[in-house]
Each structure stands twice: as C-alpha cells, then as structure tokens.
C-alpha cells in the first residue's frame, strides 16, 4: 500500500501538449477516480504512472520514491487494461501467474496466490480455460485477478468497464467496489463515465485539456463544482446553464436575462452585492427545479411552456421553454404535464451554482 | 514498321482465337443447360454436335473411332447432367467456371495422369521411336518405382544421398529464412522512419525473376571476378593477418556448390518471410506488450512469451509453403550448377529429376521419380497441417 504523488507533470507528444503541469497527491488506501472527456490526458497520466510512457518533465513518486526512471516492472504497480490484454495463448491460470513466474516465485507460492485471488473473484472453475472461451465479464475478472496476484502497491485501472454492456458494467462496478473494501489498497481508476466516478471514488479528479479541473469527494464535486466544465461534466442529466446579469431591485437581488428573472436569496449567494450588475452564468441541476405545487416558492415562481416530455420509467425529463430560455427539469413519472401546457416552477435555492461569465469559475460558496 | 503491325496483329489474332473458342465452348454448354427440357434436345444435340465434332476432328487430324466414341459418351453424359442435376436452375456459375476448369484439366490433370501412365511403362531414348511409330510402349509394372531407389538418377549420387541432401538443403534454408526474416521484421517494426522504403528494398530480391537474381548472384560468386572473392582479396590486402588465419579466396562454384546454392537461396527467401512475419508482428495488439512490461518481462522474455506464440498462426503456413517451395526449388540449383561443365555435387531430388529426364532421357524413370517426390511432399504438407490443426484444437478443447 502506498501513496502516489504527481509533481508538475508535463507530457508532450512532439508538439502536442497532453498534460500541462499536473499536480496530484494520492494518499495511502485511497480510491481515486480520474474522470474526463476523451483526450483530456487521463489515460496518459495512468500510463506515466505505470511507466509505459516517458515523462517530459516533472516527477512521479510512489511511497516517496522517485520512479521517473524506473521500468514498469520495478514500480510495484499492477494495471488492468481497457481491452483486458489477456495473453490469448495462455490459460487463465497461466495469465494470472505470468508475472510471478517471471519474478521466479516458488511454485507453491504461485499456486497459493492464484488460488487466493481466484477465490476472491470466483474464478476457480475457469482457471484452465483460454481467454477466448470467456465472456466479457469473466475476462474482466481475470484481468483484475492478474493484477491482484502480484500484491502491488498501487492498482491502476484504465477504463476497465467501457467494453462491457450496460448491465454487466453495473455488476462489475459493484464487484470492484467490494474488491476495494476487501483489498483496501491504493487504486487509481481512469474512466470517462461519471457514474463510475461518482459511485466508486473516494476522491474524484476531474480533468480537461491536460489540467485538473477539480479534485474532491464525489459529493463535493457534485454539490460544489468549481467551474462550468466540472458542473457540466458531472451529473446526469446535464446541468442547465443560464447566462445573464445580477440585478438589484428594492434590496433584493435577481438573476435576469431577456427571458427569465430569478430571485436569488442571500443564503444562496452571500457575496451577491459584489457582483451586482455583472455578467454571470447560473447553473441549476434538473433535479433542483421544483415542480410540485406545494413546494414551489410562490412569490418568485417562473412560468413556461412544456416542449417535450421524455418518460424514463421512474422519472420524466421535462423540457421547458421560458421565452427563449430552454430549461430541463426532472419530475416524477406520469405527471400531468403535456406538451404545450403551462408549467410553473421555482429553483431549489440551496443548490444554485453561480459562475463568473468570463473566468467560468464558481463565485458562490 | 510492318513487322510491328504484323506482330500486333498476331497477338490480337491469338487473343481473338482464345475468345472465340471460349465463346464456342460456352455456347455449347449453354445450349445444353438452357434447353435441357426440350424433347428434341437429344436428337438435335447428338446430330448437330456430333457433326461439328467430326468436322473439327477432321480439321485437327484427330479423327478416329476412339475419339468419336469418347465424344459420344461425353455428349450423353452432358445431356444427362443438364437434365437430372442442373435442370436449368442457376447454371450461370457452371458456365463461368467452365473455361477455368478446362484450363486446369489441360494444364494439371492431363499431365498428372499422363505422368502416372508413363511411370508404369518404359519410355526412354531407345523406346521413343517405337512409341512414335506404333503408339505403344512396353508396360513394366512397378519396375520403374523399384529403380528409383536402386538405380542412381545421376552419375554421382543415388536416391538416398539425394534425399539426405534435399532434407539438409530444405532444413538449412528454412531455418535461415525464418531467422533472417524474423530479425529483419523485428528491426523493421521498431523502425520509426523510412519503413516503407526499407520494406520495398527488402522485397526487391523476391519481386525479381528468380532466373535474373540467381544468375546475377552466380556471377558474384565467381572465383576470380566475383564480388565476394574480390572483397576477400581487398580485405587481405588491408589486413594481412587475415591470411595467416587461413582466410583466402574460395572457389565457390567448384568447391562448395551446395553451400553457394544455399547462400543464394537464403538471400532469395528472406524477403518473403520478412513480409509475412512483419504482417504478423503488426497484428499483435500493443497492449499485450504493455501488460508484459508491467508484469516484468524483459525484451527477450516478451519475444519468447508474447511475440513467438502470437505470430505462430501466420508463421506456420509460411513455413509449410516455404518447405514445399524449397524442397521443390530447381531454379537455384540448376541455374548455379546445371550448365555444361557444372557439378552434380549440389543436386537435390528435383534437380536430379530434371537431369534424369532431360539430360539422361529416361522419361518413364523420371515419371516414377517425380511420383515419389510428389508423395514425399504430400506427406510433409499433410503432417504439417495435422500438427497445426491438433495444436489449435488442443487449445480449443482445453
């Protein structure tokens, strides 16, 4: 078990800047999920940590030991690849024991460890199969098993679930979570799927364009996104963004643009005074739009027209148009709305996110 | 100028002749397939086609009762096939395949059958006039097959010596083809720039007609003016100590003919293996190597545990093909040693066969000899593919 430190990591492919001075500290026993859109540099970070790519500048430390020039084998890490990379000509058992065999472990020790990790992952019956005789989920488990036998300091997962279908992905997600509880080791997990990030992570690191946008607990990242990118990337359905100005009327502050005027209570934006008259972006998650007549803030309710309703089973996505402003709300299934009908709603003021229009940084606390 | 036009006319005329003959054959088959259900087919086809066949046979000078009876049998066979089997459905594929099938018949099947026929008779220089005049040659049963093993085909070497030499030749060649091909392919796959250019250069000896390549190289092995001996002489001039350890010009063609042939053939065969192995290497997913790096494999361990097992599926067919081609390779041996004044020291089975047939004029003996070689090669190929299949099914079942 070990901590990992990235210090001012820069990675360039020729002139392409992939990582631009990334600093990140991963503590012992921590499950860190690096999430971001494709091309944001998250996989590169993992490959740098694994030693599969060379660092352009900066340092990586594992357990306080600088590993920049260590080959992958010496870093005591294990990696699970997106395409599993199981050796196709070896049985499950051979796949799992390959690393130990190369390190000249005694035979009974290899046997013991393979058995141990096979029982953790319920692979006992598959040990003599070839990879091509396994289903996607089983291959994934073997790939994880191959990592566990090594008893590495750090586990690296490179989008391990992206090749599985949706149902299997859910199962494996739970399995990985259970595995983490059992092994309690340092895990760095890369994904582009924010659901995996939210459910698995002890800490989420959101990346974009070679920079870390925000790093914090899943709840932090969800409730207090530090900028517009994080706010838009985390959460499903995507947050509504409204561009407008802060206005002051009779001691009260409002957010307004041509279409809507939204009351901003002081507790949701204590420093509102400072931004009076300035351009801001207001973000509100679809779940934080209140449609229930009993809970609506009737003094400041907004009315619009329903455009489209998408039934998802237990919920409905309701696309509302207020003037030229489109707003997505999530409501209970089988509501009585129908396209074109009038709808009245208000915002859950506790969960309003306000960003500076130019820097796109969060300005309410 | 007139000559050129005349030659062109000849070429076009020849093409037109082929086209017309193919057209006639197609029309002939088509009429059978299309009108199989007409009551008159039997009558008309037998009459009209027999008449035409007689006409053509007469023109070609093939007119004989035997040929006529053969044609009648064929005609009846064709009518019944089109009536009972094809029944006018989907006969287009048969029409399209017919010309190629006839070509195969003429170029492969007929010579093969004729060779079997020859191998049970005795056709040689002393009986060839009898064959020409009477059309018969003495039947000798298995005598030719026995002589293959007891009577040497050449002045200097018998069957088993030749067989041993052939196996040595094949093994050494294939070994160095695969080794050289593998090394070159590894280098090429690591190469970041100019890979296309190098690959093209490597393929040149393969793409060149073997006759040209072999004769050119044969010149380079000349004892006085060949490139190799010239280089040896230059080296001795620059480093006189080389001479003291026994390095000196070598009479390649007369002293080491088999070695020379092997050197030349290794050079000729490497490009093919390189291209095949390079293809295999490039099809291996890079993530296996990443996984192996993390598992702690060194470069050579990766070669042993990842690369070799994974290129085996492409390598095995290439080795099988290479074995057959090398076993059967008459070009190199004959072109290097086969001319007048050449040696028989380097002859392998096939080149000995060629000499037995066309230098010593023992046709029936050579036919039997060829059958024996064919059977050996057949067995080699079968056992290769068996080995290969078993390995595959083993993995599937395990």
**Residue-wise DSSP of B119-170:** HTB--BTTTHHHHHHHS---B-TTHHHHHHHHS-SSSS--HHHHHHHHHHHH
**Among B88, B111, B133, where does a domain finish?**
B88
> Does the CB of A125 have a partner CB in chain B at under 8 Å?
no
H or E, element range at B22: helix B2-34
Q: Which chain A residues are within 8 Å of B292, Cβ to Cβ?
A: 87, 98
Burial B65-97 (b: 16+ CB within 10 A, else e): eeeeeebeeebeebbeebbeebeeeebeebeee
Distance from CA of B306 to the nearest CA of A (A): 7
Are A205 and A215 spatial neighbours (Cβ–Cβ below 8 Å)? yes
> Does the CB of B313 have a partner CB in chain A at under 8 Å?
no
Contact: B288, A87; criterion CB under 8 Å:
yes
Nearest CA in chain B to A92: B398
For B245, counting Cβ atoms within 10 Å of its Cβ (0-12 exposed, 13-18 middle, 19+ buried), the class is exposed
CA A228 remoteness from chain centre: 15
**Token representation of residue A230:** 């994080």
> Does the CB of B296 have a partner CB in chain A at under 8 Å?
yes
Contact: A77, B310; criterion CB under 8 Å:
no
**pTM (predicted TM-score):** 0.75
Same domain flag for B68 and B163: no
pLDDT over 50 (residue B186): yes
H or E, element range at A258: none
> Which residues in chain B belong to E strands, given as ranges?
none
Same domain flag for B156 and B80: no
Distance from CA of B25 to the nearest CA of A (A): 51
Cα separation of A7 and A9, whole Å?
5
Contact: B285, A130; criterion CB under 8 Å:
no
Are A266 and A241 spatial neighbours (Cβ–Cβ below 8 Å)? no
Please tell me what DSSP assigns to residue A290.
E
Are A251 and A264 spatial neighbours (Cβ–Cβ below 8 Å)? no
- pLDDT grade for B68, boundaries at 50, 70 and 90: confident
CATH code of the domain in which B229 resides? 1.10.3720.10
> Does the CB of B285 have a partner CB in chain A at under 8 Å?
yes
Cα separation of B211 and B332, whole Å?
8
Q: Which chain B residues are within 8 Å of A78, Cβ to Cβ?
A: 294
Interface of A with B in 128-187 (CB under 8 A): 128-130, 146, 150
Cα separation of A105 and A127, whole Å?
19
| Three-state DSSP class for residue A90 | coil
Same domain flag for B74 and B174: no
Are A322 and A333 spatial neighbours (Cβ–Cβ below 8 Å)? no
Q: Which of B26, B23, B27, B36 is nearest to B78 (CA)?
A: B36
In this structure, is residue B128 part of a structural domain? Answer: no
* Interhelix angle B363-397/B110-119, nearest 10 degrees: 120
In this structure, is residue B284 part of a structural domain? Answer: yes
Are A218 and A28 spatial neighbours (Cβ–Cβ below 8 Å)? no
Distance from CA of B271 to the nearest CA of A (A): 27
CB atoms under 10 Å from CB of B300, counted, come to 9
Cα separation of A365 and A363, whole Å?
6
Same domain flag for B295 and B159: yes
> Does the CB of A72 have a partner CB in chain B at under 8 Å?
yes
- Mean pLDDT confidence for B251-267: 88
In this structure, is residue B218 part of a structural domain? Answer: yes
Q: Which residue has the higher pLDDT, B391 or B46?
A: B46
Contact: B296, A78; criterion CB under 8 Å:
no
Are B289 and B306 spatial neighbours (Cβ–Cβ below 8 Å)? yes
Mean pLDDT score across all residues of chain B: 85
Name, in order, each residue with C-beta under 8 angstroms of A333's C-beta and a sequence gap of 6 or more.
A311, A312, A313, A314, A315, A316
In this structure, is residue B199 part of a structural domain? Answer: yes
The pLDDT score that the predictor gives to residue A92 is 92
H or E, element range at A313: none
Nearest CA in chain A to B300: A102
**Among B34, B60, B88, where does a domain finish?**
B88
Number of domains in chain B: 2
Q: Which of B393, B387, B211 is nearest to B315 (CA)?
A: B387
Same domain flag for B72 and B169: no
Task: Point out the residue among A79, A82, A130 whose CB comes nearest to the CB of B395.
Answer: A130
- pLDDT grade for B398, boundaries at 50, 70 and 90: very low
Q: Which of A103-107, A143-147, B83-87, B327-331 has the lowest mean pLDDT?
A: B83-87
Strands A315-322 vs A302-311: parallel, antiparallel or unpaired: antiparallel
Task: Point out the residue among A72, A83, A89 whose CB comes nearest to the CB of B293.
Answer: A72
Instruction: Identify the residue among A84, A100, A102 best suited for mutation to test binding to B, counting B beta carbons within 10 A and taking the highest.
Output: A102
Q: Which chain B residues are within 8 Å of A130, Cβ to Cβ?
A: 395-396, 398
- Mean pLDDT confidence for B190-217: 83
Q: Which chain B residues are within 8 Å of A83, Cβ to Cβ?
A: 285, 287
Please tell me what DSSP assigns to residue A267.
G
The pLDDT score that the predictor gives to residue B395 is 46
CA B373 remoteness from chain centre: 13
> Does the CB of B301 have a partner CB in chain A at under 8 Å?
yes
pLDDT over 90 (residue B206): no
Q: Which of A162, A217, A159, A226 is nearest to A189 (CA)?
A: A159
> For chain B, give me the number of helices (H) and strands (E)?
20, 0
Distance from CA of B274 to the nearest CA of A (A): 23
Sign of torsion over alpha carbons A110, A111, A114, A116: negative
> For chain A, give me the number of helices (H) and strands (E)?
8, 20
Same domain flag for B83 and B160: no
- pLDDT grade for B340, boundaries at 50, 70 and 90: low
% of chain B surpassing 70 pLDDT: 96
Cα separation of A93 and A145, whole Å?
10
Cα separation of A205 and A188, whole Å?
10
Cα separation of B242 and B246, whole Å?
7
Instruction: Identify the residue among A67, A82, A85, A188 best suited for mutation to test binding to B, counting B beta carbons within 10 A and taking the highest.
Output: A85
Rg, Å, chain B Cα set: 29
Instruction: Provide ipTM, 2 decimals.
Output: 0.82
CB atoms under 10 Å from CB of B50, counted, come to 14
Q: Which of A98, A129, A135, A128 is nearest to B306 (CA)?
A: A98
Cα separation of B50 and B268, whole Å?
53
In this structure, is residue B113 part of a structural domain? Answer: no
**Token representation of residue B297:** 């494999």
Tally A–B CB contacts below 8 A. Answer: 62
> Does the CB of B193 have a partner CB in chain A at under 8 Å?
no
Nearest CA in chain A to B394: A130
The pLDDT score that the predictor gives to residue B381 is 84
Cα separation of A342 and A303, whole Å?
7
Distance from CA of B193 to the nearest CA of A (A): 15
In this structure, is residue B372 part of a structural domain? Answer: no
Q: Which chain B residues are within 8 Å of A128, Cβ to Cβ?
A: 398
Cα separation of A304 and A110, whole Å?
67
% of chain B surpassing 90 pLDDT: 24
CA A281 remoteness from chain centre: 23
H or E, element range at B33: helix B2-34
Q: Which of A165-174, B270-279, B338-347, B379-388 has the lowest mean pLDDT?
A: B338-347
Q: Which chain B residues are within 8 Å of A82, Cβ to Cβ?
A: 287
Q: Which chain A residues are within 8 Å of B395, Cβ to Cβ?
A: 89, 130
Cα separation of A226 and B322, whole Å?
65
Count Cα atoms within 13 angstroms, Cβ side, for B84.
6
CA B54 remoteness from chain centre: 38
Task: Point out the residue among B290, B296, B309 whose CB comes nearest to the CB of A52.
Answer: B290
Same domain flag for B83 and B156: no
CB atoms under 10 Å from CB of B355, counted, come to 21
Distance from CA of A100 to the nearest CA of B (A): 8
Distance from CA of A14 to the nearest CA of B (A): 14
> Which residues in A99-239 belong to E strands, given as ranges?
154-158, 186-191, 203-208, 211-216
Are B262 and B246 spatial neighbours (Cβ–Cβ below 8 Å)? no
Q: In the 3-class helix/strand/coil scheme, how is A206-255 assigned residue by residue?
A: EEECCEEEEEECHHHHHHCCCEHHHHHHCCCCCCEEEEEEEEEECCEEEE
Are A187 and A20 spatial neighbours (Cβ–Cβ below 8 Å)? no
Query: Which segments of chain A have a pLDDT < 70?
Result: 1
Same domain flag for B208 and B293: yes
Contact: A89, B310; criterion CB under 8 Å:
yes
- pLDDT grade for B359, boundaries at 50, 70 and 90: confident
Are A344 and A322 spatial neighbours (Cβ–Cβ below 8 Å)? no
Region of A301 (left: φ > 0; alpha: ψ -120 to 50; beta: rest) is: beta
In this structure, is residue B289 part of a structural domain? Answer: yes
First to last CA, chain A: 35
Residue B20 structural domain: 2-88
The pLDDT score that the predictor gives to residue A340 is 87
First to last CA, chain B: 73
Cα separation of A33 and A61, whole Å?
18
H or E, element range at A350: none
**Among B53, B88, B123, where does a domain finish?**
B88
Cα separation of B352 and B355, whole Å?
5
Q: Which chain A residues are within 8 Å of B293, Cβ to Cβ?
A: 51-52, 71-73
| Three-state DSSP class for residue B339 | coil
Task: Point out the residue among B285, B301, B309 whose CB comes nearest to the CB of A102.
Answer: B301
Cα torsion through A191, A46, A94, A186, rounded to 10: -80
In this structure, is residue B396 part of a structural domain? Answer: no
The pLDDT score that the predictor gives to residue B341 is 61
């Amino acid at each position: 078990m070990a901590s990992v430190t990235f210090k001012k990591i820069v990675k360039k492919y020729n002139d392409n800047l992939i990582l631009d001075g990334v600093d990140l500290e991963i503590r012992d026993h921590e499950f860190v999920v690096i999430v971001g859109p494709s091309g944001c540099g998250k996989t590169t970070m993992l490959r740098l940590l694994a030693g599969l790519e060379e660092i352009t500048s900066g340092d990586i430390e594992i357990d306080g030991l600088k590993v920049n020039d260590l080959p992958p084998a010496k870093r005591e890490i294990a990696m699970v690849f997106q395409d599993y990379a199981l050796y196709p000509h070896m049985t499950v058992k051979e796949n799992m024991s390959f690393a130990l065999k190369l390190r000249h472990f005694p035979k009974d020790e290899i046997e013991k460890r393979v058995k141990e990790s096979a029982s953790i992952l319920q692979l006992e019956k598959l040990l003599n199969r070839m990879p091509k005789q396994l289903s996607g989920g089983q291959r994934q488990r073997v790939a994880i098993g191959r990592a566990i036998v090594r008893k590495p300091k750090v586990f690296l997962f490179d989008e391990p679930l992206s090749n599985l279908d949706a149902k299997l992905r859910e199962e494996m997600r739970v399995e990985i979570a259970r595995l983490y509880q059992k092994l309690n080791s340092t895990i760095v997990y890369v994904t582009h799927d924010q659901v995996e990030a939210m459910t698995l992570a002890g800490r989420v690191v959101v990346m974009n364009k070679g920079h870390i946008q925000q790093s914090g607990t899943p709840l932090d990242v969800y409730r207090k996104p530090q900028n517009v990118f994080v706010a838009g990337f985390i959460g499903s359905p995507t947050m509504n963004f409204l561009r407008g100005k802060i206005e002051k009327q009779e001691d009260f502050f409002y957010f307004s643009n041509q279409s809507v005027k939204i009351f901003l209570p002081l507790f949701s934006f204590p420093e509102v005074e400072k931004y009076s008259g300035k351009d801001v972006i207001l973000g509100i998650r679809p779940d934080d739009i209140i449609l229930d007549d009993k809970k609506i803030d009737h003094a400041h309710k907004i009315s619009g027209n329903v455009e489209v309703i998408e039934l998802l089973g237990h919920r409905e996505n309701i696309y509302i148009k207020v003037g030229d402003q489109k707003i997505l709300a999530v409501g209970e299934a089988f509501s009585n709305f129908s396209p074109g009908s009038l709808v009245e709603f208000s915002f859950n003021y506790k969960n309003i996110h306000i960003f500076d229009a130019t820097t796109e940084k969060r300005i309410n606390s | 100028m007139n000559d050129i036009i005349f030659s062109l006319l000849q070429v076009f005329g020849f093409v037109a002749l082929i086209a017309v003959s193919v057209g006639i054959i197609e029309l002939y088959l088509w009429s059978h397939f299309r009108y199989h259900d007409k009551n008159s087919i039997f009558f008309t086809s037998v009459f009209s086609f027999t008449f035409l066949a007689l006409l053509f046979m007469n023109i070609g000078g093939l007119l004989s009762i035997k040929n006529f009876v053969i044609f009648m049998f064929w005609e009846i066979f064709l009518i019944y096939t089109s009536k009972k089997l094809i029944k006018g459905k989907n006969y287009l594929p048969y029409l399209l395949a017919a010309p190629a099938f006839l070509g195969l018949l003429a170029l492969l099947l007929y010579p093969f059958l004729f060779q079997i026929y020859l191998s049970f008779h005795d056709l040689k220089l002393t009986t060839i006039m009898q064959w020409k005049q009477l059309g018969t040659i003495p039947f000798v049963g298995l005598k030719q097959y026995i002589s293959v093993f007891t009577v040497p085909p050449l002045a200097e070497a018998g069957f088993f010596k030749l067989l041993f030499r052939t196996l040595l030749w094949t093994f050494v060649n294939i070994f160095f083809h695969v080794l050289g091909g593998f090394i070159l392919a590894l280098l090429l796959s690591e190469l970041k720039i100019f890979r296309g250019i190098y690959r093209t250069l490597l393929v040149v000896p393969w793409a060149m007609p073997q006759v040209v390549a072999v004769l050119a190289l044969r010149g380079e092995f000349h004892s006085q003016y060949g490139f190799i001996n010239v280089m040896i002489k230059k080296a001795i001039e620059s480093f006189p100590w080389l001479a003291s350890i026994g390095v000196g010009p070598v009479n390649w063609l007369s002293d080491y003919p088999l070695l020379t042939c092997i050197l030349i053939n290794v050079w000729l065969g490497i490009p093919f293996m390189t291209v095949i192995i390079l293809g295999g290497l490039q099809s291996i997913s890079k993530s296996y190597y990443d996984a192996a790096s993390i598992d702690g494999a060194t470069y050579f361990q990766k070669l042993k545990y990842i690369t070799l097992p994974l290129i085996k599926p492409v390598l095995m067919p290439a080795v099988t093909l290479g074995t057959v081609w090398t076993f059967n390779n008459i070009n190199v041996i004959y072109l290097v040693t086969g001319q007048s004044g050449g040696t028989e020291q380097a002859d392998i089975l096939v080149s000995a066969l060629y000499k037995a047939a066309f230098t010593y004029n023992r046709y029936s003996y050579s036919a039997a000899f060829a059958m024996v070689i064919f059977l050996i090669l057949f067995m080699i190929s079968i056992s290769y593919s068996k080995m290969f299949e078993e390995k595959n099914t083993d993995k599937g079942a395990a």
